[in-house]
Structure 1
Amino acid sequence: MSFEINKSVTYVGKIDWELKKFHGDELSTHRGSSYNSYLVRDEKIALIDCVWTPFAKEFVANLKKEIDLNTIDYIIANHGEPDHSGALPELMKEIPNTPIYCTANAIKSLKGQYHQDWNFIPVKTGDKLSLGSKEFIFIEARMLHWPDTMFTYLTGDNILFSNDGFGQHLASEHMFNDLVDQAELYHEALKYYANILTPFSTFVDKKITEILGFNLPVDMICPSHGLIWRDNPLQMVNKYMEWAKDYQENQITIIYDTMWNSTRQMAENIATGIRLSDTNVTVKLFNSNSTHMDKNDIITEVFKSKAILVGSPTINKGISFSVAGILEMIKGLAFKNKKAAAFGSYGWSGEGNKLISAELEHGGFELLNDGLKVTWNPDDESLIKCQEFGRAIGQALK
């Protein structure tokens, strides 16, 4: 697919309507995605990023229809991950000597993945590459979200090619932010940040502050996934700054798994107690083992929350597989400035609460209490205790 972004820049990427899982099975992409590649024409011609490996032959074939490959003077690799570089081996068969501009870490990544010694030109922040009447300015963006990542800024047109920064997994026939459902766009941008960039929020904050310090005008942001920000492009930069500062809303999220509905009943009655103590707080419940519930959507809600409650029955002196998996994801994302508590039912031993509490602490959460556990199927008295537990938490978090 190709279309004109402006007189200098042409989109030559791939929209993937069918994509439902990404990073193996680690990330859900309910609305598909895109692999954005850009052709920049001036006195010199540059190609910025490629597409994912499965679309390599298609990409090169379509690129040939757009331009004589031998007229491409430079290739810019903002990031070495295969969703952006996967078509490079196919492309470099056609133009093997074309220089590839990227960070020193990207050279390591690309050599490690493709075992080719192409004509790599390492660049660092502040380096420039003339295209004739315009030039590229390179900006290293380490850990947004890999050590090799960089942004590329095009003078004259004032476009920031931001790779994974400011992107979303969203396929659309309209590739500009002002032409799509704004709620969908915002949700996918938030989900992308929550599930991918949260661990690197400190880097996000510092890097954006650094970039803003350059005082470069930004009329458009062209990421490598999802839509191009041409209407008020800095709105997403501002959102990133907000999200990077230990973001939270007035929300409490309850995550649980259940065997015989005992823990489910606990979760629902805890939620009732929270609402009784604070009618303004948003309370959301998720069964982590439900076939209708997606783990990345749960993580997005955790990102938005000021506190989470996690519940599981005790199973073989442990906790349920689905809760353990969610806790592992939460731990890896290194959330900050959030509180938590555990709860669960048991029959014989009851170690679940202690295990959940330990994982929450390892994940950086401040524990609100020692948790709540109930034996067997909760009776009326136990359900009242659950409501009191929720009421106390709601009061503590007001």
Structure 2
Amino acid sequence: MTARRIAAATHWLGGCMQAMASDGPVHYHVSAYLISGSAHTVLIDTGDPRHWPLIEAQLDEALAGRPLDYLLPTHPELPHAGNLPALLARYPGAEVVGDVRDYHLHYPEYSHRLRPLAPGERLDLGDRQLELAEAYIQDLPNTVWAYDPGDRVLYVSDGFSFVHDVPALPSMGDDEPGHRPGECRLLSTEMPAAPTVDQAAYGTGRALYWTRYVDVTDTFGKIGEFLATRPADLIAPAHGNVIADVPRMMKTALAAHRQVYDAYTSA
């Protein structure tokens, strides 16, 4: 998969992983996103280390000779920060920004390249100011989101995650799932069918264990308030197709969280 430009200054990078659901295999993205401002570039999340050769090639393509200036892992978990050592070695001028409170423990050799940024603070990219935002849906305590007002994209880490089905290719047996061409790099509006509540609930219940015990109705109200002042044309999750139909997917994601919560509180 090559890097896909999804907005004027934004490329979608990364690869896909396979998991087994009760009715067969499904795929889920492990995505990273490159924003190329007029003065500086930033990579949001790093992708999974298993995808490093792919991400390295995608970055070469998307950067087109420019340096990578900033790395913003949304939290220190393998799919989000696992490629930091490789990226910092390849781009010696890059800094790690965000909630970096414990990254010096993971990567002590790079402690001098950590730059704390808190929600509400901005990263100057030249023609745009990338705003760090509170992670309304968290995986770890130092999870952060980000908002790009230039391309109107909200980066939500493990929020709004969903899997997608893997159809069998005509040349393969039913027990050998494969991708249709380009299926793993589609906007939500380009999928053969809109993501379902079940697909969103599958990812939510596994990636965010706490959602089994928390009613997030008020949380989605806060996300709606955030979007009212920072409108987003795209929502970019780490583990799902990029969302281009934001109002509909807000409803789907909330319904998925409720489904997970109801299933475990009623058990």
- In structure 2, the gaps of 5 or more residues are 167-182
> 1:33 and 2:32 equivalent?
no
Q: How far apart are the structure 2 equivalents of 1:156 and 1:143? A: 23
- Mapping for residues 195-274 of structure 1, pairs under 5 Å: 195-197=206-208, 199-200=210-211, 202=214, 204-214=216-226, 215-230=229-244, 232-244=245-257, 247=258
**C-alpha distance in structure 2 between counterparts of 1:159 and 1:29, whole Å:** 32
Change (3 A) 1:124 1:21: farther
Once the two structures are superposed, residues 291-323 of structure 1 have per-residue CA deviations (whole angstroms, 9 ceiling, x without a partner) of: xxxxxxxxx6xx564xxxxxxxxxxxxxxxxxx
1:68, distance to aligned residue in structure 2 (A) = 5.4
Contact 1:175–1:226 under 8 Å retained in 2: no
Give the counterpart of 2:200 among 185, 189, 192. Answer: 189
Give, in angstroms, the shift of residue 176 of structure 1: 0.8
Hey, what does 1:386 align to over in structure 2?
A: none
Report the CA distance shift for 1:133/1:39 in structure 2 as closer, same or farther (over 3 A).
Answer: same
Among 109, 112, 116, which residue is 2:109 paired with?
A: 116
What aligned pairs does 1:45-84 form with structure 2 within 5 A after superposition?
45-67=41-63, 71-84=67-80
Aligned partner of residue 46 in structure 1, secondary structure: strand
Rounded to whole Å, the distance in 1 between the matches of 2:256 and 2:232 is: 20
Query: Would you tell me which structure has more helix in proportion to its own residues?
Result: 1
TM-score normalised according to structure 2 size: 0.78
Between the two structures, name the one with larger relative contact order (CA 8 Å, sep ≥ 6): 2
For residues 23 and 80 of structure 2, the distance between their equivalents in structure 1, rounded to whole angstroms, comes to: 18
Structure 2 CA distance for partners of 1:194 and 1:75, relative to 1, 3 Å: same
Cα deviations across residues 64-100 of structure 1 (Å, max 9, x unaligned)? Answer: 2332576222211112211122221111111234111
Question: Separation in 2 of the partners of 1:120 and 1:93?
Answer: 14
Q: Distance in 2 between matches of 1:72 and 1:20?
A: 32
Q: Per-residue displacement from partner, 1:203-261 (whole Å, max 9, x unpaired)? A: 8445443343332212110111120101x2132323344454xx35xxxxxxxxxxxxx
1:145 paired with 2:139, answer yes
Residue number in structure 2 paired with 1:128: 122
Percent identity of equivalent pairs: 21
The Cα offsets for residues 79-130 of structure 1, whole Å up to 9 and x where unpaired, read as 22111222211111112341111214xx41x344444334112222211122
Taking a change above 3 Å as real, the CA distance of residues 127 and 208 of structure 1, as seen in their structure-2 partners, is farther
The change in CA–CA distance for 1:28 and 1:142 in structure 2 (over 3 A counts) is farther
Q: Which runs of 5+ in 1 are unaligned?
A: 249-299, 306-334, 341-398
Q: In 1, distance between residues paired with 2:48 and 2:116?
A: 22
Q: C-alpha root-mean-square deviation of aligned residues, in Å?
A: 3.0
Q: Quick one: structure 1 residues 86 and 49, their matched pair in 2 at CA, closer, same or farther if it must change by over 3 Å?
A: same
Q: C-alpha separation between the residues in 1 aligned to 2:137 and 2:7?
A: 30
Q: Which residue of 1 aligns with 2:159?
A: 165
Contact 1:204 1:241 in 2 (8 A): yes
8 Å CA contact retained: 1:167, 1:192:
yes
CA contact (8 A) 1:56 1:86 kept: no
Q: TM-score, normalised by structure 1?
A: 0.54
Q: Could you tell me how far apart the structure 1 residues matched to 2:187 and 2:30 are?
A: 14
Residue pair 1:49, 1:85 contacting (<8 A) in 2 also: yes
> 2-side partners of 1:55 and 1:224: how far apart?
14
Note closer, same or farther for the CA distance 1:99–1:206 as it changes in structure 2 (3 Å cut): farther
Question: Deviating runs (4+, > 6 A) in structure 1?
Answer: none
Change (3 A) 1:137 1:188: same
Q: What SS does the corresponding residue of 1:124 show, helix, strand or coil? A: coil
